[in-house]
Amino acid sequence: MAKLYFKYGAMGSSKTAQALITKFNYEERGMSVWLIKPSTDTRDGAKMIRSRIGLTAEAEVIAPNDDIRARFDAIGRRNVIIADECQFLTPQQVDQLRDIVDEEDVPVLCFGLRTDFLTKMFPGSARLFELADSITEIKTICECGSKATVNARIGPDGRVVTEGEQVLLGGNDTYLAMCHSCWKKRIARERSSI
């Protein structure tokens, strides 16, 4: 029986690398993979997925108004669906992935962030927490050695950003994975130095 999987972690936890390794493992066994990513993620080009360690693959782009179920039906059966940056999917699209699992017996593996730079849940991630059969945290560490859970947004001045739009694409130059304690202490320290 197929399952809906949500594999989440903070920035830099190897989510994309694990998605691409999973794709390779399925294909190595002769299985077909539908690799998808939301159109919101344009960092590496419209159709590219790239991990920090250099793994890359071409993916189908899913726009916010796309019906994933209809797109899946149109491309023909695949053995598995792998979604990168799934936090940017709409809740309705997560429901459509759930339908594919239930009605087509196709496993769906979603990789993405749980929360934004203010520790607020992304709508796609929230829906995955509600619907996924399997939820796995992909861990990474803060500079203090504790488990990182916060995606701290760092401004051009090097300070932690505490307001702004939920989505701002970036990598190591824009975000820093931190434990909650270090994040709070750094914000307090920076505010006291103003």
Residues contacting 122, CB < 8 A, separation 6+: 87, 88, 112, 113, 114, 115, 116, 166
Q: Active-site residues: which are they?
A: 85
Distances (CA, A) of 23 to 148, 170, 190: 26, 24, 42
C-alpha to C-alpha distance for 107 and 175, rounded to whole angstroms? 31
CB–CB of 105/68 below 8 Å?
no
Neighbour tally for 146: CB within 10 Å: 13
Beta strands in the chain (DSSP E): 4-8, 33-38, 48-50, 56-58, 60-62, 80-84, 108-112, 134-137, 150-153, 175-178
| CA of residue 15 relative to chain centroid, distance | 7
Neighbour tally for 70: CB within 10 Å: 9
